[in-house]
């Protein structure tokens, strides 16, 4: 049996505050689609792997579960983002078994037969971690024939001691809405209605992923953008949907850091900003592919998120990069006991206080019901726009993805070329416009690079990245006086000193920026045929 014919588990997972479970069960949106009586059972599961975690590396989970008097064995494959709906799909096999023992004959009937056979030859499986929770299930019946099951899981996850560490545990408080039949978008609509009133957040991590991380003692890390592999012969809607799905993945993953209080690492805010900017850039490419109402809403909501996170990111850069450089340059010349040094130390203290407030505002944004609904809306945004009448301009519905991507990348490259006319003599605003144009072009090339010859795309993207880095350094220096003015006042001695420092940095970067532009300009466009 191959993965293409494997049965699929299609579900939406959300975390919930345990105190809100009663409100969830009484919510009118849930009551409106309840299709039967709720049932509650205790479920105890053990996840197995080889000593070297061979299954984990292959994205496969092997589980034995006791539910009441029944024993069930399940094998799950790696999740596959459903580009059409944003709901997670994964291949899943489940069988009743006689007791708490792995049925190796069943394993041989799955697409991972070779993996399991090799694992058994190498010594077999051992418990990796376990879960123990109470599950309340409720059948759902939506208008139009869609059916699903909502499960509320409350309990704990336990990992055994590894490398002489004490055993560890973590709480489980989540809901799963699993599709039985029909339209996956119904799951998103229900979740959005619930999230308007309840403390819910999308949860991209499976119990297996959390269990492995708990056992390893590894914390969640900020998520960077991943390469998007487009299938040969893809049409434009499928390609854009895949891009949306990747952007959502990065947003969803980086939201974890805001929920678990990991913002001591400023990379969480940085990568969240990148993820939302990428999503916003994708929206700009999607006219004629995504539904117009979805485009307008996403433009509005991405701007809200970026505005909410912007001060925190600016202050991170100012506190961790700009101020240390300014102190090194100015204190070196003025002396550590100078008035300039004392003023800078005072500015450092004010920056730290303002930065804490900005981080609190960023957390408030990402942990809000509005943000959860934004993510859910984005998950469902890849519905194609309504097909217009024949001959209507700008319709990409049936267009080849490669041709569509080439046309859009060319458009962004032309905009960058036009903006770059002011590179040598332009001021802060002109160079900022160049930076934005370069960023939009970079995102477009990242979105669709795999549709074109890899070597040419790699060379072009590298040259563009160098150019963007130079523009980013210039922008950071240009932003510094504005941030200083908000903290100390526009006429303060520190603001004036930082303005002078910024001007010096901008002048020094001029030659390297022009060199980066010359190298980029000489690079062949990878989307054009020779």
pLDDT surpasses 70 at 384: no
Of residues 461, 469, 477, the one with CA closest to residue 512: 469
Q: Are 73 and 63 in contact (CB under 8 A)?
A: yes
Backbone angles phi, psi at 464, to 5 degrees: -70, -35
| SS3 annotation, 13-26 | EEEECHHHHHHHHC
> In the chain, what are the domain boundaries?
3-218, 235-385, 399-525
Ramachandran bin of 217, using left for φ above 0, alpha for ψ from -120 to 50, beta for the remaining angles:
left
Average pLDDT, the chain: 89
Q: Are 130 and 157 in contact (CB under 8 A)?
A: yes
Q: Are 210 and 15 in contact (CB under 8 A)?
A: no
pLDDT band at 165 (very low <50, low <70, confident <90, very high): low
Say whether 399-525 and 3-218 share the same fold: no
**Distance (Å, rounded) from C-alpha 137 to C-alpha 36?**
10
| SS3 annotation, 436-457 | HHHHHHHHHHHHHHHHCCHHHH
Of residues 234, 240, 233, the one with CA closest to residue 291: 240
Q: Are 278 and 303 in contact (CB under 8 A)?
A: no
What size, in residues, is the chain? 530
pLDDT surpasses 50 at 386: no
- Does the domain formed by 235-385 have CATH 1.40.20.10? yes
Q: Are 40 and 135 in contact (CB under 8 A)?
A: yes
pLDDT at position 393: 39
Taking residue 449's Cβ as centre, other Cβ atoms within 10 Å add up to 23
123-127, 157-161, 186-190, 290-294: the lowest-pLDDT one: 290-294
Q: Is the dihedral of CA 158, 159, 165, 167 positive or negative?
A: positive
pLDDT at position 383: 52
pLDDT at position 422: 85
Q: Which two tokens stand for residue 476?
A: 């950071």
**Distance (Å, rounded) from C-alpha 342 to C-alpha 364?**
34
pLDDT band at 387 (very low <50, low <70, confident <90, very high): very low
Average pLDDT over residues 52-81: 92
Distance of CA 395 to the CA centre of its chain: 29
Q: Are 123 and 39 in contact (CB under 8 A)?
A: no
Summarize pLDDT for 396-422 with one digit per residue, the tens: 457 899 999 999 999 999 999 999 998
pLDDT at position 162: 65
32-36, 164-168, 269-273: the lowest-pLDDT one: 164-168
Of residues 83, 89, 92, 86, the one with CA closest to residue 231: 83
Percent of the chain with pLDDT over 70: 92
Of residues 26, 19, 33, 11, the one with CA closest to residue 151: 11
94-108, 116-130, 232-246: the lowest-pLDDT one: 232-246
Q: Beta strands of 50-167 (E only): which ranges?
A: 61-67, 70-76, 80-81, 88-97, 126-141, 147-159
Taking residue 23's Cβ as centre, other Cβ atoms within 10 Å add up to 15
CATH of 3-218, one of 2.40.320.10, 2.40.440.10, 3.10.310.30, 3.40.30.10: 2.40.320.10
Average pLDDT over residues 346-364: 95
pLDDT at position 439: 95
Residue scoring higher pLDDT (268 or 296)? 268
pLDDT band at 388 (very low <50, low <70, confident <90, very high): very low
**Distance (Å, rounded) from C-alpha 322 to C-alpha 334?**
18
3-state SS, residue 201: strand
**Distance (Å, rounded) from C-alpha 74 to C-alpha 513?**
56
pLDDT surpasses 80 at 290: no
Average pLDDT over residues 462-466: 96
Q: Are 251 and 375 in contact (CB under 8 A)?
A: yes
Average pLDDT over residues 484-505: 89
Burial of 34 (0-12, 13-18, 19+ CB in 10 A): middle
Q: What dihedral angle (degrees, nearest 10) is formed by the CA atoms of 400, 403, 404, 409?
A: 160
3-state SS, residue 315: helix
- Locate all alpha helices (DSSP H) within 287-322, ordered by sequence: 292-317
Q: Are 125 and 102 in contact (CB under 8 A)?
A: yes
pLDDT at position 83: 43
Distance of CA 440 to the CA centre of its chain: 18
Q: Which two tokens stand for residue 190?
A: 């229900």
Distance of CA 80 to the CA centre of its chain: 15
CATH number for the domain whose boundaries are 399-525: 1.40.20.10
């Amino acid at each position: 049996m191959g993965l293409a014919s494997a049965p699929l588990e299609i579900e939406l997972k959300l975390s919930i505050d345990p105190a809100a479970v009663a409100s969830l069960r009484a919510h009118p949106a849930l009551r409106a689609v309840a299709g039967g009586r709720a049932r509650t059972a205790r479920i105890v599961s053990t996840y197995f792997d080889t000593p070297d975690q061979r299954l984990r590396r292959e994205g496969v989970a092997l589980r034995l579960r006791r539910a009441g008097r029944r024993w069930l064995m399940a094998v799950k494959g790696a999740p596959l983002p459903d580009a059409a709906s944003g709901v997670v799909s994964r291949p899943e096999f489940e069988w009743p078994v006689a007791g708490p023992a792995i049925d190796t004959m069943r394993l041989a009937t799955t697409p991972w037969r070779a993996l399991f056979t090799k694992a058994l030859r190498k010594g077999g499986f051992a418990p990796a971690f376990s879960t123990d929770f109470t599950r309340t299930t409720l059948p759902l019946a939506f208008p139009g024939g869609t059916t699903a099951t909502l499960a509320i899981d409350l309990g704990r996850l336990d990992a055994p001691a590894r490398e002489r560490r004490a055993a560890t545990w973590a709480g489980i408080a989540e809901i799963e809405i699993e599709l039985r039949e029909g339209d996956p978008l119904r799951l998103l609509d229900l979740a959005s209605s619930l999230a308007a009133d309840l403390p819910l957040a999308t949860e991209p991590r499976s119990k297996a992923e959390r269990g492995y991380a708990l056992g390893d003692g590894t914390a969640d890390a900020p998520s960077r953008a991943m390469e998007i592999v487009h299938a040969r012969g893809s049409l434009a809607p499928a390609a854009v949907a895949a891009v949306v799905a990747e952007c959502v993945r990065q947003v969803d993953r980086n939201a974890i850091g805001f929920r678990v209080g990991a913002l001591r690492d400023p990379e969480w805010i940085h990568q969240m900003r990148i993820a939302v900017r990428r999503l916003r850039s994708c929206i700009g490419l999607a006219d004629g592919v995504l539904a117009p109402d979805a485009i307008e809403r996403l433009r509005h909501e991405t701007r809200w998120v970026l505005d909410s996170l912007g001060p925190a990111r600016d202050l991170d850069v100012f506190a961790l990069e700009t101020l240390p450089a300014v102190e090194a340059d100015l204190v070196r010349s003025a002396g550590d006991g100078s008035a300039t040094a004392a003023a800078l130390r005072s500015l450092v203290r004010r920056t730290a206080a303002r930065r804490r407030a900005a981080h609190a505002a960023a957390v408030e944004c990402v942990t809000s019901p509005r943000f959860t609904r934004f993510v859910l809306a984005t998950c469902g945004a890849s519905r194609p726009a309504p097909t217009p009448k024949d001959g209507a301009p700008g319709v990409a519905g049936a267009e080849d993805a490669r041709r569509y991507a080439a046309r859009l990348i060319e458009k962004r490259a032309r905009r960058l070329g036009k903006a770059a006319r002011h590179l040598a003599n332009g001021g802060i605003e002109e160079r900022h416009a160049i930076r934005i144009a370069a960023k939009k072009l970079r995102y477009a090339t990242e979105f669709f690079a795999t549709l074109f010859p890899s070597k040419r795309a790699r060379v072009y993207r590298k040259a563009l990245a160098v150019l963007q880095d130079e523009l980013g350094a210039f922008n950071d220096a240009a932003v510094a006086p504005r941030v200083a003015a908000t903290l100390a006042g526009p006429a303060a001695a520190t603001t004036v000193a930082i303005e002078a420092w910024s001007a010096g940095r901008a002048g020094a970067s001029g030659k390297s920026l022009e060199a980066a532009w010359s190298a980029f300009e000489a690079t062949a466009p990878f989307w054009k045929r020779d």
